[in-house]
Amino acid sequence: MKVRDAVLADAEEISVFLQELAALGKRSLPSDEAYVISHYIAHADKVRCSVVEDVDGTLLGLQILKRASEGNTYGVTAGWGIIGTHVRPSAGRRGVGRALFAETFDAARQAGLEKIDATIGASNPEGLGYYEAVGFRTYKTNEGSVSKCLELTAETAPVPK
Which parts of this chain interact with ligand COA (CB under 6 A)?
A: 21, 26, 61, 84-87, 92-98, 120, 124-127, 129-130, 133
CB of 127 to ligand COA, least distance (A): 3
3-class SS of residue 92: coil
Whose Cβ is closer to ligand COA: residue 39's or residue 98's? 98
Helix (H) or strand (E) holding 39: none
Whose Cβ is closer to ligand COA: residue 37's or residue 74's? 74
What φ, ψ does residue 43 adopt, rounded to 5°?
A: -65, 140
Q: How many CB atoms are closer than 10 A to CB 86?
A: 24
CB of 26 to ligand COA, least distance (A): 4
Whose Cβ is closer to ligand COA: residue 101's or residue 107's? 101
CB of 125 to ligand COA, least distance (A): 5
* Residue nearest ligand COA, Cβ-based: 129
Whose Cβ is closer to ligand COA: residue 94's or residue 115's? 94
In sequence order, which residues have a C-beta less than 8 Å from that of residue 102 and are 6 or more positions away? 3, 159, 160, 161
Rg of the chain over Cα atoms, rounded to whole angstroms, equals 15
CB of 38 to ligand COA, least distance (A): 18
What φ, ψ does residue 147 adopt, rounded to 5°?
A: -105, 125
Distance, CA of 7 to CA of 17 (rounded, Å): 16
Whose Cβ is closer to ligand COA: residue 112's or residue 132's? 132
What φ, ψ does residue 143 adopt, rounded to 5°?
A: -65, 110
CB of 154 to ligand COA, least distance (A): 25
